[in-house]
Amino acid sequence: MKGDLLKRTISFMTGKGSLNHNSRKFHAKNTDPNRTHWNVEYCNEDIKDVYHELFDDALKRYNDKQTRKDRKIDDYYEKIRSGKQEKLFHEVILQIGDKDNMGSETMEGQLAAKILDEYMKEFQERNPTLRVFAAHLHLDEATPHLHIDFIPYVTGSKRGLDTRVSLKQALSSLGFKGGSRSETELNQWVTIRKGKISHGHEGK
């Protein structure tokens, strides 16, 4: 059964990240409120609190080195939010099959949910530079799917804060080196992680 399941199309997409929708602070038209209690919330931390946790020490070290007041950074979260170089956070959405062959209320859909649940429980350990602050398994829509929201960061940086937001460097530290526009660090990471799901686990 599991082998047949994994012949389904595996979707591993990057999303825009609607935190309120993911945590069901509001319901979209495609959700069934009667099944919302089936959903799984792995974590749902305040993103600003996580920014403080990750970057406050590095921010102090950076500011202490600055001799010009205009080069100091008051709020790293706001600097990233208002800047254009990095996103505040990234989201990936994972789904096996579709509503026609992996419906949430079917046995196949339940097995897909189990595989996604196993994947999520290993995600942070396998991707230590992608700090997960919100993750939700949705079973109240047509097909089970998993939202993972994370802040990519790098330590030991020689530019800016020594610990800072960087998707490219966070993935590079996991062993993914970009070579071209179509073979970016993100594309390589998605391809490898998607392949690991098709083998039944994420692996290293």
* pLDDT at 1 (0 to 100): 45
**Helix, strand, or coil here: 138?**
strand
The terminus-to-terminus CA distance of the chain in angstroms comes to 25
Any idea where the domains of the chain sit in the sequence?
A: 2-45+88-196
- Mean pLDDT computed over every residue of the chain: 82
Spatial distance between the Cα atoms of 93 and 97, rounded to a whole number of angstroms? 13
Cβ atoms of 133 and 53 within 8 Å: the answer is no
Q: What is the rounded average pLDDT of the residues 123-148?
A: 91
**Helix, strand, or coil here: 154?**
strand
7, pLDDT greater than 60: no
* pLDDT at 57 (0 to 100): 98
Of all residues in the chain, the percent with pLDDT exceeding 90 is 51
53, pLDDT greater than 50: yes
142, pLDDT greater than 60: yes
Neighbours of 89 (CB within 10 A): 22
Q: What is the rounded average pLDDT of the residues 60-71?
A: 95
Cβ atoms of 104 and 139 within 8 Å: the answer is yes
Instruction: State whether CATH 3.30.930 applies to domain 2-45+88-196.
Output: yes
* pLDDT at 24 (0 to 100): 44
